[in-house]
Amino acid sequence: MKRIRLNFFMLFDTHCHLQFQAFKEDRDDAIARSLARGMILNVVGTQKDTSRAAVALAETYDGMYATIGTHPIHLFPTHVDEEETSFQSREEDFDEAYYETLARSKKVVAVGETGIDLYHLPKDKPKEDVLAKQRDVFLKHAAFAQKHNLALVIHCRDAHDELIQTLKSTVNGQLSMLIRGVVHCFSSNWTHAEQYLDLGLYLGFTGVITFPAKKTNPQVQENLLEVVRRMPLDRILVETDSPYLAPQAYRGKRCEPWMVEETVKKIAEICGVSPAKIEEQTTNNARALFLKGE
């Protein structure tokens, strides 16, 4: 176990992808830059190989944990083309036996990222089929998380109503599942936020909250900042989603976990409290969710 820890753990990046290709050349240095600041990191998998790599990293470093699962965009071959990345996703199913083996590691703290993504749609499949498949696989992840007493890391893009409906689905009037988890990179409005909070979920905020409003549609950012303002402090998590979504101060650069301090600063500014208070609170929240208070 490599110990680079210097300070008391003060900041918890609850969602990063340090195992991705973007860190191929200097992964250990990038990790050291964050761990040297006394951070705790949750490295999140998106399919089998990136989940295995997340566990391997977590097993190597003190202060690092792993999340294992299959991202909804990997259930179909899809072309992903965005500001910071462009790739063809590889099709893969949720291989429960494979994840069972990974879940034996004590460093595995959550299942995901799983969820619903209706933004990246494959060209040759009707939306209903994509949604049905993603929903089915999401429920499998949720059951797996429950079975292993792990948290759930939920991804949602252009599908909050569909996801909330899935979460609220009932069997004989009872919620069909009780989930301990986080809706990561939350970027919608208070109507959605409130429903997730009612279900007991945490919301994770990234550098997106530091971005300026889009001139073409400023309402989107106003809605998001309103959510931050209205959030109960004990349900906020901070994350980078690195290597993506570098906060505004570093926009265009590869994002690294230590940059999560920009998100902390922004939350502190919006909520009118000190950054130190937000650091402490969000770290305690993340410990409660992922480390069961450890």
If binding is defined by CB under 5 A, does position 239 make contact with Zn ion? no
Which of these ranges, 47-55, 135-143, 224-232, 241-249, lies near Zn ion under the rule CB under 5 A?
241-249
Residue nearer to Zn ion on the CB measure, 142 or 156: 156
Instruction: Give the residue closest to Zn ion by C-beta.
Output: 241
Q: Which of 13, 117, 241, 261 binds Zn ion (CB under 5 A)?
A: 241
How remote is the C-alpha of 161 from its chain's centroid? 19
In the shown chain, the binding pattern of residues 86 to 115 toward Zn ion, with x for contact by CB under 5 A and - for none, equals: ------------------------------
Dist. CA 76–CA 222, nearest whole Å: 33
Which of these ranges, 175-183, 190-198, 238-246, 276-284, lies near Zn ion under the rule CB under 5 A?
238-246
Residue 172: count of CB within 10 angstroms of its CB: 5
Dist. CA 291–CA 140, nearest whole Å: 22
CB of 58 to Zn ion, least distance (A): 16
In the shown chain, the binding pattern of residues 183 to 222 toward Zn ion, with x for contact by CB under 5 A and - for none, equals: ----------------------------------------
Q: DSSP readout, 145-178?
A: HHHTT-EEEEEEES-HHHHHHHHT-EETTEES--
User: Counting runs of H as helices and runs of E as strands, what totals does the chain give?
Assistant: 9, 12
Which of these ranges, 124-132, 158-166, 235-243, 274-282, lies near Zn ion under the rule CB under 5 A?
235-243
Closest CA to 266 of 216, 215, 227: 227
Dist. CA 54–CA 60, nearest whole Å: 10
Residues that bind Zn ion (CB under 5 A): 241
